[in-house]
Structure 1
């Protein structure tokens, strides 16, 4: 047992070193320091920005989202705000009209065609109506800080084309939110070499968050836009890959100081949302899902279990190695949580978080394998 624990500890410590390096390489939205971040030449100022918000049954979110956008400064850039009311049943469109001010147009979504998924179709309609040089796709549960659009425009002007995306600071309330939602940043910091998102043309090195997708209009057209990914369940990752395949730059930036969001509001929403996305996000490859879950379980759950067991049995040498591996895993989680501006104590939840992730992942695989599919906002997906 001690040899196994020593191996696990060694792997965890190597993972910790990678996480620390990787987190330090994440560029900050609005920063143009370093040629490797946004290009070697300064770009011209953005003349017009279209903020595009697809909204289906977002009555609880759309007013606050619009207010946060309207409160942003744009440093002289002309701003266009479009909201797509995607056949909502809760008065989303009326609320958007009442809170959008003179800069906001509320569009009525068309019926969902066969072969399309809902968000892709909503974003397509927004892009068709937009007149901006750059398009910023925002989810309705995003809350921008007043400096957010100025920072986004600075990055867009410096990069010149392509896509800029990032993970907003995740706000959580229920326990399943606290356990599972911060794992988005954890997986990125642990496994995706951040410099390769911008520095490599390989579409495997990509990450994106659909809540904040800033894309140049010509790059959007060149990569096929949402029409080219119409049937993709994880649309943000699919669009980012399409941008890379079109030869356009993709930047994953730290936007946590500029944008907050609460993706889910209870355990049921967390379960349904992650169940819909996890298996599809791994390309519906069962062997990859199994490998990732086994890797996480061995590195982050087994040390916690063996620590309890060896403490009860009095095997203090094994307990020492278990504690070392456990502390290393907590250090990795803290590194990722710090990048996502999560509370300090969240790192202590890592073993329980991995157990919850495993359960949701199994349900995600089962939903695809059984053809049962997934339900989200009144629509059925497979």
Structure 2
């Protein structure tokens, strides 16, 4: 057997294992259960960190103000040093639309050792605790919620006995690049953190989607959130690990009624979104980076390469094995494309999208070693090991 055939066989074996042994990550049926109203509706405080969000706030904040929630609820929007009038716009939207009470505050610049978002979340949670809520809804400023969204989250948490319930918001897919890259982003996330494993009792897998997290206030205090994760760039996964690590039960699923309104129309926008935190996901470890690059190449690039090269060079066995691995790959991607209402002919293009993600990950490492780190909206964050310890 040729070397290419051996490599293609390994790639096919990996895909068969992923198909059956990785928590059925490719299925998209992990959703909130039908709503069952609890005996009583607890107090909820909504915390929205916002930095330079004036462009999307008119599309998202009114949906929070209009929540049809039977219990007491109010919103704290924490303006994280915006320069575009985010805070004043939020107040204007509240006066125009009415609905849930809104408080707009600004904590000032974060101290060393804190990301701006988590510093804003800390300030919002501190204010919320004065109201003694049972739950906190942590949601990003670019997330729009259906009118019964808060009801459904609280119902799922109460009836399921969860300390954390998170929804992976449906991201925008309108531009050609969004259609090519965005569904794959959620697909890769689910492959790393299979949703079925996250909700298992005693399981080690922990993750959340930072755009929409309903968190029991008592669980947040027990896990010292957000102080315990103050320097985390990938704060949603760190939050879930902190809650689960202190005995909390967590759940993550795909959203039906929670949408991100932030546009990523150009490849450059998507590239920045991924590359700003990709190397942080690998804990800034060069060996993990090399392993990731090799793994992506083996799993996603070998199948089409073997299929094409086998046909050109007359290696029918390598071509057949590569094509079969490619078919399994495309088949596992099809449910995510259906979830995003995208055409299934995009499924065979997943190797090209994976190549883009590989290059984004390498670029993330390059930017890190150039001293730019994880940059977002004018702030650059060092790796955790370079930060001062909490006194």
Question: TM-score, normalization: structure 2?
Answer: 0.86
Query: Match of 2:306?
Result: 306
Over 3 Å counting, the alpha-carbon distance change for 1:211 and 1:115 in structure 2 is same
Task: Quote how far apart the aligned CAs of 1:3 are.
Answer: 3.9
| Separation of aligned partners in 2, 1:263 and 1:333 | 24
Task: Quote how far apart the aligned CAs of 1:43 are.
Answer: 6.5
Over 3 Å counting, the alpha-carbon distance change for 1:77 and 1:343 in structure 2 is farther
Task: Quote how far apart the aligned CAs of 1:180 are.
Answer: 3.3
Q: Does 1:260 align with 2:263?
A: no
Query: Match of 1:29?
Result: 32
Task: Quote how far apart the aligned CAs of 1:245 are.
Answer: 1.4
Kept after mapping to 2: 8 A contact 1:144/1:258: yes
Look up the SS of the partner of 2:284 in the other structure: coil
Query: Match of 1:164?
Result: 165
| Separation of aligned partners in 1, 2:282 and 2:175 | 26
Over 3 Å counting, the alpha-carbon distance change for 1:348 and 1:143 in structure 2 is farther
Q: Does 1:64 align with 2:54?
A: no
Query: 21, 41, 46: which is aligned to 1:46?
Result: 41
Write the mapping of 1:147-296 to structure 2, written as runs, cut at 5 A.
Answer: 147-201=148-202, 204-255=204-255, 257-265=256-264, 266-296=266-296
C-alpha deviations, 1:165-194, integer Å up to 9, x for none?
121112134444333332332224334343
| Separation of aligned partners in 1, 2:331 and 2:290 | 24
Kept after mapping to 2: 8 A contact 1:233/1:277: yes
C-alpha deviations, 1:278-334, integer Å up to 9, x for none?
111232233233223322211221221232223334444432222211111111222
Kept after mapping to 1: 8 A contact 2:30/2:253: yes
Query: Match of 1:109?
Result: 107
Kept after mapping to 2: 8 A contact 1:201/1:247: no
Look up the SS of the partner of 1:115 in the other structure: coil
| Separation of aligned partners in 2, 1:82 and 1:344 | 41
Query: Match of 1:39?
Result: none
| Separation of aligned partners in 1, 2:26 and 2:326 | 20
| Separation of aligned partners in 2, 1:138 and 1:298 | 37
Task: Quote how far apart the aligned CAs of 1:343 are.
Answer: 4.7
Over 3 Å counting, the alpha-carbon distance change for 1:193 and 1:267 in structure 2 is closer
Over 3 Å counting, the alpha-carbon distance change for 1:264 and 1:289 in structure 2 is farther
C-alpha deviations, 1:113-161, integer Å up to 9, x for none?
2221100001111111113321111111111122322211211222345
Kept after mapping to 2: 8 A contact 1:46/1:133: no
Over 3 Å counting, the alpha-carbon distance change for 1:262 and 1:63 in structure 2 is closer
Look up the SS of the partner of 2:199 in the other structure: helix
Kept after mapping to 1: 8 A contact 2:5/2:318: yes
- Stretches of structure 1 that go unaligned for 5 or more consecutive residues are 34-41
| Separation of aligned partners in 2, 1:14 and 1:321 | 15
Q: Does 1:17 align with 2:20?
A: yes
- Stretches of structure 2 that go unaligned for 5 or more consecutive residues are 383-391
Query: Match of 1:80?
Result: 74
Kept after mapping to 2: 8 A contact 1:189/1:336: no
| Separation of aligned partners in 2, 1:85 and 1:363 | 30
Question: TM-score, normalization: structure 1?
Answer: 0.88
Query: 61, 77, 92: which is aligned to 1:98?
Result: 92
Task: Quote how far apart the aligned CAs of 1:362 are.
Answer: 0.6
| Separation of aligned partners in 2, 1:224 and 1:44 | 29
Kept after mapping to 1: 8 A contact 2:162/2:251: no
Provide the aligned C-alpha RMSD in A: 2.5
Kept after mapping to 2: 8 A contact 1:82/1:105: yes
| Separation of aligned partners in 2, 1:29 and 1:54 | 25
| Separation of aligned partners in 2, 1:375 and 1:6 | 40
Kept after mapping to 2: 8 A contact 1:179/1:352: no
Over 3 Å counting, the alpha-carbon distance change for 1:228 and 1:106 in structure 2 is same
Kept after mapping to 1: 8 A contact 2:195/2:253: no
Query: Match of 2:369?
Result: 369
Over 3 Å counting, the alpha-carbon distance change for 1:22 and 1:45 in structure 2 is farther
Task: Quote how far apart the aligned CAs of 1:241 are.
Answer: 0.8
| Separation of aligned partners in 2, 1:251 and 1:339 | 19
Over 3 Å counting, the alpha-carbon distance change for 1:312 and 1:19 in structure 2 is same
Look up the SS of the partner of 1:365 in the other structure: helix
C-alpha deviations, 1:191-250, integer Å up to 9, x for none?
434333122445x51121111111011111111011221111111111111101111111
